[in-house]
Every structure is written in C-alpha cells, then in structure tokens.
Structure 1
C-alpha cells in the first residue's frame, strides 16, 4: 500500500485517503498561448518506469494538494513537499540521486 506524508497537516495517509492528480510540475500556458503549447499542456505527460513527480490531494484530511516524489516500479517514496514549489527541494533530489546514481532533475518545458 502506498503511504504518503501530507506536508501540511503532518499525517501519514494511505492511498485510500488521497486522490491522485497526475504529473507534477506541468508548465501551464496563459491566454496568449499557441495551439501547440495548449496541446502540450493538455496531453503531453511523462510515464516513466522509475522516479516520478506527482500531485496528490489529501482528500479525507486537510483537503490540500501536495507533490510527491516516488518510484513507479517499487512504490518507494522519496518525499513529499508543498504544491506551490516549482521544483523538488534539494534534499529530495539528493535522496533520489543517492539511491539512483546517474539520475538528474529534468527541466520541465
């Protein structure tokens, strides 16, 4: 079972208390965007086997959205953090790099 720590209320919640919201750090475009940019926002997503950054909502708790870094093949959770951040905290990136040599943070377009 997947258990994630809510960074807002401090609860370690199992997946039945949470609602998945898709990939984190997706670039959103404003009203003046091109058709290609809007298509990218709507449809282009990563689907990795390995480290992935996701949005989660603590639906049966505080109700707030947060981000989680986890491995999709092992369900190993590297950490959770505020949804208002534009990239994972350095401590989470360091934790991933320590367990996955060669891994690097990719810039999201």
Structure 2
C-alpha cells in the first residue's frame, strides 16, 4: 500500500514538474523566440531520468526534441537570411517553425494534463 502511495507521489511530482517546464518553455518561446529555452531544456535533461517508467518521461523527450528541431530550423533560417535571395524563404521557415513549436507546446501540455504519453 505504501509503495503505491510513493509511486503515485512520484508520478504527481513528475507531472507537476512537466507542467511547470511546459509553461517555462512557452514563456521563453513567446518572449525570446525560444532563445532562452535552453534553460528549461537543461532541466528536462536533468529531470528526465527521475521520471523513468512513467508517461511523463515521454513528455521530457518531447520537449527536448521540440527544442532542438526548432533551434535547427531557426538556425537554417538565419543562414538563409544572410543571403539576399533567401530572405523570403527564411521568413517563411521562421514562421512555420514558430507555428510548429507552438503546436508542440500546446499539444504536449494538453496531453500531459490528460495523462497521455507523447509519441516520440
């Protein structure tokens, strides 16, 4: 019985931390276009092993992958932006990456609250 309570407490704590990290990712995403998201992604890396064996583990992986793919697309857009010809493509790439990242943050937060694991 007490082991069940410990597991439920672990899951509850991991889920609450996941919520907090989604919110921090969202705030850094909206206020710095994701530049400051390195801080919550570091927390994802540190806390992901603690959530091993729960559905929250998949959410940490989801946030980590979202960050790195978003950083990749923003960097590629930046490289295109420094060429005169690539500026329209860069803006399109940045807008698409922003919408994609916003979707992943919202989708992840909703699925975390509904106790669903994320596919990775």
TM-score, normalised via structure 2 length: 0.27
**Structure with the larger strand share:** 1
**Structure with the larger helix share:** 2
Which structure exhibits the higher relative contact order, with contacts defined as CA atoms closer than 8 Å and separated by 6 or more residues? 2
TM-score, normalised via structure 1 length: 0.29
Higher radius of gyration, 1 or 2: 2
